[in-house]
Amino acid sequence: MGSNFFNTWQRWWNRVRFSDARTRAAVVAAAVFLALLIVPVPLLPPHRIARGVQSALGMGWSAAYLVAAVGLHVVFYGLLGVVAAFGVVPAQTPRGRLLQIVILPLVVVGVAILIRSLKLGHLPLWMNAAVPIAACLAGVGLGLGFLYRRGSVTLLVAVVLVGVTLWQLLGGASADLSRATKARLQHLVAAGAESPQGEARFGALVQAAFVPVAGESVGEIESNRAAILALGIALGHEKLARFAGLDGDAELMKQVAALREGTTLRGRADWARHYALSAALAVLENPLVSDAGGVIKEQLDALTGGSGFSFADLAADRAGVRFAAAATRSDEAAKSTQARLRSGFVIGDFFPPVADLPENLTVEQFRRDFGGVGSPRYRTLAGEIETRLDSCAGLSPTDAGR
């Protein structure tokens, strides 16, 4: 069946009116260029599509809107890549085919980024360009697979993309790390029963999570990873337990989830959650991915009528990521973090004052005041956040590595 499809497509393409290769390439290039010029940036889904996703998948509005937005980007930029491949004349040599496979995706992605940048007025942040780039590359690979009548090429692209996605979403923790995380969750339940409310509870829970467990079989870095994962489950979300190889519906998870009530960071319960969840994601993933999650979440809040874009929330996300990095960078850094927490929890060592940063910005306010994510004004304020975090001794890689 696949062979018949490729044969049919090839016969159709051979009958295309533009038999001249240069003319055909020019028409395809013009179509790709025009599509990129016409499509708005950012490319956002109509609310009726998001509502359809929400109804079909039974998820919350913000999550449904994100799924719809990602899906729209995948479809548009994927088709763009396929169309671009249609303008290529099949090479006659293996070397020529290899050059096409390498060069064409780079050209299409380069043009897409250039036009997006001109329309935005600045280079897009990598996390906002990642989905369009990946979809475009996949589309080019799909189109070249059709072009060369190689179903295996298309299949390989699909398998790689699905495999990477599943690895990111379903990858779990080792058995030792799971046991260590569970032991720290038990510590948190015991400590939370006696700790006061507010910021004092946040500090007490952080200290309790980093208390070494007798007979533990993991090293210093893994021990701190377990502590951070436990904090992410307790103060962030109990569903994170699945990534630590634990049952998210177990009675222990219900007990640790109860610790969130009354736990604050600089007077805010939402900052405590941002901090703990971002730190946990950072030890599960690459820290850059965790940063992306924080920025995307804030954009989503602004776009969907949620709480709005918050630079203060973004600071809490970044602080959590840097805390995780400082605590797990090396054995020496891990020991340094443990020693600091044994001597007491000082809020200024782990999170600076951020209450003066802009919050609850709607799409219109954000665009008016900052122009967009990645704009010079945005980068200036993001740099201010990093400067404040640099002043926190517990977030400093140099200090933690001594």
Share of the chain above pLDDT 90, in %: 20
> Does the pLDDT at position 184 exceed 60?
yes
Confidence of residue 83 (pLDDT cuts 50, 70, 90): confident
> Higher confidence at residue 392 or residue 298?
392
Beta-carbon contacts of 289 under 8 Å, excluding residues fewer than 6 positions away, are 281
The answer to whether 195 touches 201, Cβ cutoff 8 Å, is yes
Q: How far apart are CA 42 and CA 303, in angstroms?
A: 11
Average pLDDT of the residues in 39-67: 73
Average pLDDT of the residues in 188-210: 87
> Does the pLDDT at position 168 exceed 70?
no
> Higher confidence at residue 360 or residue 341?
341
The token pair that represents 253 in the structure block: 């998870």
Confidence of residue 247 (pLDDT cuts 50, 70, 90): confident
The helix/strand/coil state of 309 is strand
The answer to whether 341 touches 207, Cβ cutoff 8 Å, is yes
> Does the pLDDT at position 178 exceed 70?
yes
Check residue 60 and give its pLDDT: 67
Q: How far apart are CA 117 and CA 10, in angstroms?
A: 36
Average pLDDT of the residues in 250-264: 88
What is Dmax (Cα atoms) for the chain? 80
* pLDDT, tens only, 97-136: 667 767 777 787 788 778 877 766 666 655 556 677 777 7
Burial of residue 162, with CB atoms counted within 10 A of its CB: 0-12 exposed, 13-18 middle, 19 or more buried: exposed
* pLDDT, tens only, 349-359: 999 999 999 98
The continuous run of DSSP H or E covering 396 comes out as: none
> Does the pLDDT at position 384 exceed 70?
yes
Average pLDDT of the residues in 163-185: 66
The token pair that represents 270 in the structure block: 């939402």
Check residue 132 and give its pLDDT: 73
> Does the pLDDT at position 2 exceed 60?
no
The answer to whether 42 touches 98, Cβ cutoff 8 Å, is no
Confidence of residue 17 (pLDDT cuts 50, 70, 90): very low
Cα 342 to Cα 189, 206, 208: the distances in Å are: 19, 10, 9
Strands annotated E in 351-398: none
The answer to whether 225 touches 337, Cβ cutoff 8 Å, is no
The answer to whether 390 touches 382, Cβ cutoff 8 Å, is no
Check residue 385 and give its pLDDT: 93
| CA trace torsion 368, 372, 374, 375 (10° rounding) | -40
Check residue 402 and give its pLDDT: 45
The owner of tokens 């992605």 is 109
Mean pLDDT, the chain, integer: 76
Share of the chain above pLDDT 70, in %: 71
Confidence of residue 397 (pLDDT cuts 50, 70, 90): low
Look up residue 119 and give its amino acid.
K
The helix/strand/coil state of 263 is strand
> Higher confidence at residue 309 or residue 358?
358
> Higher confidence at residue 277 or residue 130?
277
Cα 276 to Cα 14, 231, 286: the distances in Å are: 58, 6, 16
* Preceding omega of 105 cis (within 30 degrees of 0): no
What residue segments make up the domains of the chain, in order of their start? 2-170, 175-400
Check residue 147 and give its pLDDT: 66
* pLDDT, tens only, 23-51: 777 778 888 888 878 877 666 677 778 77
Check residue 48 and give its pLDDT: 77
Check residue 113 and give its pLDDT: 78
Check residue 209 and give its pLDDT: 92
